[in-house]
Amino acid sequence: MQNYKLIKSFRKTLALQVKNGEIIVKSPFFVTKKTIHNFLEKHQNWIVKKLQNTRKSIIDSDKIEFYKEKARKYIPWRVAELAEKNWLTYNVIKITSARTRWGSCTSKKNLNFSFRLILAPKEVIDYVIIHELSHLIHMNHSRRFWTQVAEMMPDYKVHEKWLKENGDFFVY
């Protein structure tokens, strides 16, 4: 097994990330080294795939403002459309430069979306918007939350999978 960076915190599950050629394991405090080793072994193929794919970011630094402006126009418009269709109300929408989340929803019903989302296919953008709109009803990731997401977008798992497989290219 290759070297990896271990980050222990108050979390419930193990998480794996390959960023800038570095393997990062996020772990709850109580997880043993053996469990982490088994986790890495289980995901070895995924790790190798991510490490081999050394593509640089598809976001040219001189085009960042262009993408931000495009996101500022499209995402709020699409949020309004999907919220109205599903009888949901929200407070404010912000377009951010977040690198580690596609979107978020606050308890004050504010919605935040990374401008990088604009580079994804429109169906994937819709999935992230629907995910965050669903948090207006359920502020967690419970079974009821995922049922809500599925009611609004029955094929959401396809788009969630796309983000997991391709999202790393948009975060730099």
Q: In the predicted model, what is the mean pLDDT of the chain?
A: 89
- Domain borders along the chain are 5-52, 61-170
Any idea what the Cα angle at residue 103 is, between residues 26 and 166, rounded to 5°? Answer: 65
CATH homologous superfamily of 61-170: Metalloproteases ("zincins"), catalytic domain (3.30.2010.10)
Half-sphere exposure of 96 (CA within 13 A, CB side): 17
Structure confidence at residue 164 as a pLDDT band (50, 70, 90): confident
pLDDT of amino acid 132: 98
Structure confidence at residue 118 as a pLDDT band (50, 70, 90): very high
pLDDT of 16-47, one tens digit each? Answer: 988 777 889 999 999 999 999 999 999 888 88
Any idea what the Cα angle at residue 148 is, between residues 145 and 154, rounded to 5°? Answer: 125
pLDDT (average), residues 136-158: 96
Sign (positive or negative) of CA dihedral 31, 164, 104, 67: positive
pLDDT of 142 > 60? The answer is: yes
Percent of the chain whose predicted confidence (pLDDT) is above 90: 67
Structure confidence at residue 172 as a pLDDT band (50, 70, 90): very low
pLDDT (average), residues 129-155: 97
pLDDT (average), residues 1-27: 86
